[in-house]
Structure 1
């Protein structure tokens, strides 16, 4: 197979593993890395080649990153660039704009491209190659990363602007979703207090100007049902909401409503723990509408 169809996937968790599988099905020669043996074994079970040594992937034509934090991105990119041959690194991590800018400069100095391309669409989108991506990159870097972005999103990616801008808009997207999860929960709690079925209220609102994906899908599917199995953790959403406020303040902005919502997520994090499903925010903002009810105390998380 042509070297230009070789891609390394760094991070084989829920999202990275699904993206690796999608690339493999699309005809790419995929090798995955994850420090977790269990994650490597799960990926291998879908037909992906894996390695326990990230250094073996240096110089691979393309690399996709799906990592827990900006700090790990900063530690990973120099390893991949240690050997010549990299065309583009596509970072799908919900990272920080300053990190993406410095990684883009580092890649350019090695003759490679780096794009920040945080994604939305969850496990299902990753598994079906129908993610949407918020892309921050120079025009040349965007062109270099194009083949991989196309495979992961089916063309559903938006070029937001230069390096780091994809991270900013992704964080704003997530803090808006976080705020909406709080406000819809509070509103449905009021409906319940009046003896109105929250599901009926959610459907009615979803057909009107106050409606959103949160009221139309997230609450009926995961909250009112009591399943809370979206696959996205409360810890990650709390982190993203907090990061969004940090990014705002770096520019001298003080978004009061979004900051208040981010504070509600920190409260839920303390009460429920990071591994709770993110839809369990409803248990702290509107426990009356959730089958599980309010968390007993922060020590029960």
Structure 2
């Protein structure tokens, strides 16, 4: 186990997940500095007692670093800047990234005496805020030991060492595409139940106690879909990206998972209709619109007032 007592840590990316992880580390006694190009994100971090900077180079050489970035391309440009000064012990990348990128960054870090681990996480903003995330870790044994203090703070020990660099990314992508498939299949199933006159909530609760049950049927549909709130905090754009990446990673080694490819296609169709900023649970609006109060895309949600009608530039209520 790593025995460093230095508690300085940088969190790169202060969005919903990164901001929550920064707050968790701060409460756990770490000396946290955050970076984000967004002034609003930096302000929110400051309100939580976290020092924030708008200059990434300020954080070069920080002993520990957590990355929470939107894409592998940003990991590739960020890590060299963080390693530009000596002192880095471990970089923990929670980004849902690409295995080849993680392998490259692990080699780069090792050449400079630092550790890099790919540790994409699951558990959403609630898990990030409570320090109860789960993580899929790809790393050498030495890199894992160096990163362990941070992993423990973010997960409470709930992480799996999958294998070498990049392997955490592979399993996280497979996890997400399976969740994407389940969101589609549960929605379709509950749509069938409703068509038979069965309350979707009752069907979901019953299924969740049987062999067809899952977190999707037990939590996601009851909490975010059937209520019409769709406020999980994870975007449809990111899930569509992850599903597509999972299929691409499979193709790189000659695998052709037909069902997963079909699911990825459905998410691309939903993305085209709903846009990347929609909540990922809004996939239900395209596969089973009758079961969510939000309704199908382009329709008026149940209970909403009628839309204004515009005639010759004048707005009137229909």
Alpha-carbon offset, residue 296 of structure 1: 2.0
> How large is the Cα RMSD of the aligned pairs?
1.0
**Alignment coverage as a number of residue pairs:** 296
Q: TM-score, normalised by structure 2?
A: 0.92
Alpha-carbon offset, residue 243 of structure 1: 0.5
Verify: 1:100 aligned to 2:102, yes or no: yes
Alignment map for 1:247-258 (pairs within 5 Å): 247-258=249-260
Q: What is aligned with 2:308?
A: none
Which of 163, 184, 187 is the equivalent residue of 1:185?
Answer: 187
Which of 26, 46, 49 is the equivalent residue of 2:48?
Answer: 46
Please give the alpha-carbon distance, in whole angstroms, between the structure 1 residues aligned to 2:33 and 2:295: 44
- Bigger proportion of residues as helix: 1
Please give the alpha-carbon distance, in whole angstroms, between the structure 2 residues aligned to 1:228 and 1:36: 24
Please give the alpha-carbon distance, in whole angstroms, between the structure 2 residues aligned to 1:216 and 1:60: 41
Verify: 1:242 aligned to 2:244, yes or no: yes
Please give the alpha-carbon distance, in whole angstroms, between the structure 1 residues aligned to 2:191 and 2:18: 36
Q: What is aligned with 1:279?
A: 281
Q: Which has the larger radius of gyration?
A: 2
Structure 2 residue matching 1:89: 3-state secondary structure: strand
Deviations 1:201-252 (A, max 9, x none): 1111111111111111111111111111111111110011011000011111
The more displaced of 96-105 and 285-294 is 285-294
Structure 1 residue matching 2:91: 3-state secondary structure: strand
Please give the alpha-carbon distance, in whole angstroms, between the structure 1 residues aligned to 2:298 and 2:42: 37
Q: Is the 8 A contact 1:130 1:152 kept in 2?
A: yes
Alpha-carbon offset, residue 293 of structure 1: 1.3
Q: TM-score, normalised by structure 1?
A: 0.97
Which of 23, 29, 34 is the equivalent residue of 1:32?
Answer: 34
Please give the alpha-carbon distance, in whole angstroms, between the structure 1 residues aligned to 2:113 and 2:226: 51
Please give the alpha-carbon distance, in whole angstroms, between the structure 1 residues aligned to 2:137 and 2:238: 20
Alpha-carbon offset, residue 171 of structure 1: 0.4
Q: What is aligned with 2:296?
A: 294
Please give the alpha-carbon distance, in whole angstroms, between the structure 2 residues aligned to 1:103 and 1:273: 31
Structure 2, unaligned stretches of length 5 or more?
300-318
Deviations 1:91-115 (A, max 9, x none): 0000000000000000000000000
Please give the alpha-carbon distance, in whole angstroms, between the structure 1 residues aligned to 2:203 and 2:161: 37
Please give the alpha-carbon distance, in whole angstroms, between the structure 1 residues aligned to 2:193 and 2:290: 10
Q: Is the 8 A contact 1:12 1:40 kept in 2?
A: yes
Please give the alpha-carbon distance, in whole angstroms, between the structure 1 residues aligned to 2:191 and 2:130: 35
Q: What is aligned with 2:305?
A: none
Which of 134, 159, 172 is the equivalent residue of 2:136?
Answer: 134
Structure 2 residue matching 1:12: 3-state secondary structure: coil
Structure 1, unaligned stretches of length 5 or more?
none
Deviations 1:121-169 (A, max 9, x none): 1111111111110000000000000111111111111000000000000
Verify: 1:219 aligned to 2:211, yes or no: no
Structure 1 residue matching 2:61: 3-state secondary structure: coil
Q: Is the 8 A contact 1:3 1:61 kept in 2?
A: no
Q: What is aligned with 2:13?
A: 11
List structure 1 segments (4+ residues) > 6 angstroms apart after TM superposition: none
